[in-house]
Amino acid sequence: MTFTLAQKIVASHSVIPLGESEAAPGRIVNCRLDLVLANDITAPLAIKSFMLMGAKKVFDKNKIALVMDHFTPQKDIASAEQVLISRNFAKEQEIVNYFEGGDAGVEHALLPELGLVGPGDMVIGADSHTCTYGGIGAFATGMGSTDIAAGMALGESWFKIPESIRVSISGQLPAYMSGKDLILWVIGRLGVDGARYKALEFDGPIIEAMSVEGRLTMANMAIEAGAKAGLFAADQKTLEYCRAAKRKSDKEIHADPGALYEEQINLDVSGLEPLVACPHLPENIRPVSELKDLAVNQVIIGSCTNGRISDLREAAKILSHRKVKKGLRCIVLPATPGVYRAALKEGIIETLLEAECIVGPPSCGPCLGGHLGILGAGERALATTNRNFRGRMGSLESEVYLANPAVAAATAVAGVITHPAAL
């Protein structure tokens, strides 16, 4: 039997060895875990469940990661209490990978950067965008806090081996298009539940040429199509990325030739243009040219989707020697301290400040309606984030549009949704 990437990784982690015929989609298996993740919102719930089930010690203090990223620095008493619970638990359990304050960043950008996840890993996290790690060949998925508590205690979790949808992308990628546009296209094609409990597997010449950071962006939003995981083969480019993160023993991982997929989707990107997801669903996509002259009040560049150094470079190219439109707020949040340092070294932060952007700390910020950029009634934002549900970034009467960093930067300059080429 030939295996998809999802089948291959799940079968390799099964507690009970699986024969070829036993690794078929739909089978329920218990798997060993390489990493269990939670953040300042979800960790306290998982810790409470951990205590209620009578657990005393985490299964491996090196394989738990707690990242205080959603409300950092803590914005109020409630968020401070959430972090306090997490901090005390990490200290009590001697958890090595606890991140708060100056070493914390947005979890799904931070952990790959630090080499805590890698090809072939099995990862669960109490955050839906845990699927990001599929960009480097890990089977990674979000779960509820009770399942996370069990994972922290046992080092195992159960999975149904998913069906896989293969998305092959070819053609000539137009200027100002990136992984964000490709995943928006896929979400528009499938809908927000079209890949429910399935794995999305991406390949093709465009994917092979794409940077690892672009792949991470695409994997991040697999959940926006309902997917259990978004997976990319771990190739030499992946291994170079992982070696830079001080990982040494990773190997390439590819789907087997002839693996069976539930559906095959082919996309030729030639002639396309950047896409924008309109309120109030990520599937509601339109070409940027159809939205020209739509005014916005705020632009957000950052998040676990598009807060990496390549994203900031792209935005800085557009913003260089230009100014943010008066009356518009352009908020830039580097995803990690490492990204912030690189942006400082390259002069990107200076460029952003000269353009009169607001540069904030590594944080999820306003993405989930947390802080550092909440919208009021009637306000409209264009963001490089991953969700635009009603009320996601503040008032139920606000609107959020999703786009890539180049479109976001051009929009910040023009004050209306703008194709970067128009500048």
Predicted confidence at residue 342, as pLDDT, reads: 98
Sign, Cα dihedral of 174, 178, 182, 185: negative
Give the Cα separation of 359 and 356 in Å (integer): 9
Buried b (16+ CB within 10 A) or exposed e, 136-147: bbbbbbbbebbb
Q: Are residues 76 and 152 in the same domain?
A: yes
- Asked if the bond preceding 287 is cis, omega within 30° of 0, the reply is no
Given a contact cutoff of 8 angstroms between Cβ atoms, the answer to whether 189 and 265 are in contact is: yes
Segment 291-296 shows an average pLDDT of 94
Instruction: Indicate whether 222 pLDDT > 70.
Output: yes
Instruction: Indicate whether 93 pLDDT > 70.
Output: yes
Q: Say what the pTM is.
A: 0.95
Q: Which of 267, 292, 326 is where one domain is finished?
A: 267
Q: Which of 93-97, 123-127, 307-311, 368-372 has the lowest mean pLDDT?
A: 368-372
Residue type, 373: G
Question: In the structure encoding, which two tokens stand for residue 336, read together?
Answer: 């990690």
Q: Are residues 290 and 385 in the same domain?
A: yes
For residue 76, the Cα-to-chain-centroid distance in whole angstroms is 26
Q: Which of 225, 246, 267 is where one domain is finished?
A: 267
Question: Is position 175 within any domain?
Answer: yes
Q: Which of 207, 242, 267 is where one domain is finished?
A: 267
pLDDT in tens, 102-131: 999 999 999 999 999 999 999 999 999 999
**Residue 288 burial class via C-beta count within 10 angstroms: exposed 0-12, middle 13-18, buried 19 and up:** buried
Q: Are residues 317 and 251 in the same domain?
A: no
Could you tell me the residue range of the domain that residue 284 belongs to?
Answer: 275-422
Q: Are residues 239 and 343 in the same domain?
A: no
Predicted confidence at residue 20, as pLDDT, reads: 67
Query: Which residues have CB under 8 Å from 321's CB, separation 6+?
Result: none
Predicted confidence at residue 420, as pLDDT, reads: 97
Quick one: which of 339, 278, 347 has its CA closest to 319?
A: 347
pLDDT in tens, 405-419: 999 999 999 999 999
**Residue 367 burial class via C-beta count within 10 angstroms: exposed 0-12, middle 13-18, buried 19 and up:** buried
Predicted confidence at residue 22, as pLDDT, reads: 78
pLDDT in tens, 247-276: 999 999 999 999 999 999 999 999 999 999
Q: Are residues 289 and 262 in the same domain?
A: no
Question: Is position 16 within any domain?
Answer: no
Angle between helices 212-220 and 179-190 (to 10 degrees): 30
Q: How many CB atoms lie within 10 A of CB 154?
A: 16
Q: Are residues 263 and 303 in the same domain?
A: no
Instruction: Indicate whether 88 pLDDT > 70.
Output: yes
Q: Are residues 76 and 124 in the same domain?
A: yes
Q: Are residues 314 and 401 in the same domain?
A: yes
Give the Cα separation of 293 and 417 in Å (integer): 6
Quick one: which of 66, 67, 109 has its CA closest to 302?
A: 109
Report the CATH number at residue 315: 3.30.499.10
Average predicted confidence (pLDDT) for the chain: 96
> How far is CA 170 from each of CA 74, 209, 252, 335, rounded to the nearest angstrom?
44, 10, 22, 29
Predicted confidence at residue 37, as pLDDT, reads: 98
Question: In the structure encoding, which two tokens stand for residue 172, read together?
Answer: 């000539």
Question: Is position 126 within any domain?
Answer: yes
Question: Is position 31 within any domain?
Answer: yes
Percent of the chain with pLDDT over 90: 95
Q: Are residues 321 and 248 in the same domain?
A: no
Quick one: which of 15, 23, 38 has its CA closest to 147?
A: 38
Q: Are residues 242 and 188 in the same domain?
A: yes
Q: Are residues 244 and 122 in the same domain?
A: yes
Grade residue 23 by pLDDT with cuts at 50, 70 and 90.
confident
Question: Is position 20 within any domain?
Answer: no
- Structural domains of the chain, count: 2
Q: Are residues 292 and 391 in the same domain?
A: yes
Let me know the angle formed at the C-alpha of 341 by 339 and 345, rounded to the nearest 5 degrees. 115
